[in-house]
Amino acid sequence: MKNRVILWFRRDLRLADNPALRAALDGDFDSIVPVFIHAPDELGDWAEGGAQRVWLHDSLRALAEDLETLGSRLIIRQGPTLDTLNTLIEESGAGAVYWNRLYDPPIIERDKQVKKALNEREDVDVDSFQAHVLFEPWQIETQQGQPYKVFTPFWKRIKGEPIRAPLARPDQLPAVWSCIGSLDVPDLGLLPEIRWDEKIRDCWTPGESGAQQRLETFLEDAADNYDDERDYPAIAGTSYLSPHLHWGEISPQQIMHRTEEWLDEYEGPAPREHIESFQSEIGWRDFAHHVLYHFPNTPDEPLDTRFKSFPWSDDTEALNAWQAGRTGIPMVDAGMRELWATGYMHNRVRMTVASFLTKNLRIAWQHGERWFWDTLVDADLANNTLGWQWAAGSGADAAPFFRIFNPARQGERFDAKGSYVRRWVPELSDMPNRHIHKPWDAPAEVLKKASIELGKDYPKPIVDLKASRREALEAFDQIKNES
């Protein structure tokens, strides 16, 4: 066999704890050819959204720089994937192709075809590895041999299992032949022509080193109060690791082991309950991939089939107002504007805006799912699907449909001083705390003092919260007894 291997990078844009890379190094190949192939057409409806493409651009640049520091370089090509791999095999004389597995339905189907075709060649060894989740989706099942649909028993099942230790980052890599050509990252056309992405790029540091720094910042500043502060969007109380996890700039194994190390290093009584709460969020991510793998139609169809006949509204004007952060509901508008500006939204607010869309506006969850897919830097198909079906009451471990978040009360509870709303809805900056989450209830003199005329300076609510809640429950009554 030819003693060269192609290392196919996908959403595993890191050098530490990269099982495919480690296998290539342990295989004692003379040369490793790292390649990233951009083939969005192969992903169908789930090709990268706009915010993801911005992140990918910067992450690829970071990976290329990291490879160069180790003596290698990143080969960038455009698809189709199979044709590109076959071409690279001929150009490099490679006798093996290695990659790390992913679990999105279109990627699984594509990878099966690639693996089958390459295995039919007598001169190429093909192998794939686990790098994206703690446990393979097919490894975990109920006592009845079925996939889990509820998170709590899933988490109890996996949290006692040993998690493999992270793999070390290599100190050096063999050089790549200079005759193997590559595109430059800008050649992929990932950045928008109209540059709306500056604010997103100001907020984040894509790449492996950025992921590690983000984890250490969380451990230093927020981990010991995580359970107390995670629900308050004006506080930096969460890890902000989700986009780094999505692109594989850090692995869940690295996070789980580093948090345990941090507990051992902690001076004073270790805040284990806070770390275990955070670790359960890593478990939720595994659960999302578990559900997507076993129920691959859920990005488009409700897991609870009753919701196929739910009387959704087709109010395009309301959908547009929600997308633009112009609903007249301050907590909702703040979240939607944060999303547009930064490519991110706090999880408490994600639940709030999703409940408002699917229940108060009664607009189908797929519309929200699609908007998030295009605007979130961490738009992961598994997490995005599970989250939206959870909010709509139609998915795995879903909140009951009758659990309808009141966005004004959510604001009063989790943004009592209005700091989050004032940041993202500056026209309400001078509203007093008492009225900032319900300006429609504020006395005329309060609105005048704050220089607010509803319907002019800030929208009137596009829907009555109490009436729309009642109408949503009446709509659910039409389907709740269906089988």
Residue 207's closest CA among 410, 56, 401?
Answer: 56
Characterize the bridge pairing of strands 96-100 and 4-9: parallel
Under 8 Å CB-to-CB from 335, ≥6 apart: which residues? 233, 325, 345, 346, 349, 350, 352, 353, 424
Whole-angstrom CA distances from 251 to 104, 166, 256 are 17, 8, 9
| Single-letter amino acid, residue 447 | L
Residues assigned a catalytic role: 281, 284, 312, 347, 365, 388
> In this structure, how many other beta carbons lie within 10 angstroms of the beta carbon of residue 328?
17
Q: Which helix (H) or strand (E) holds 131?
A: none
Under 8 Å CB-to-CB from 85, ≥6 apart: which residues? 6, 8, 35, 37, 97, 114, 118
Under 8 Å CB-to-CB from 178, ≥6 apart: which residues? none
Is residue 13 within 8 A of residue 67, CB to CB? The reply is no
Is residue 373 within 8 A of residue 383, CB to CB? The reply is no
Residue 32's closest CA among 121, 93, 76?
Answer: 93
Residue 430's closest CA among 442, 413, 447?
Answer: 447
Helix, strand or coil for residue 52?
A: helix
Quote the DSSP letter at residue 210. H
DSSP string over 67-100: HHHTT---EEEES-HHHHHHHHHHHHT-SEEEEE
- Determine if the peptide bond prior to 80 is cis (ω within 30°): yes
Whole-angstrom CA distances from 79 to 16, 37, 107, 233 are 26, 6, 14, 40
Q: Is 240 left (phi over 0), alpha (psi -120 to 50) or beta?
A: left
> In this structure, how many other beta carbons lie within 10 angstroms of the beta carbon of residue 399?
17
Q: Nearest 5°: phi and psi at 34?
A: -75, 130
| Locus of tokens 């909010």 | 391
Segments of 203-288 assigned E as strands: none
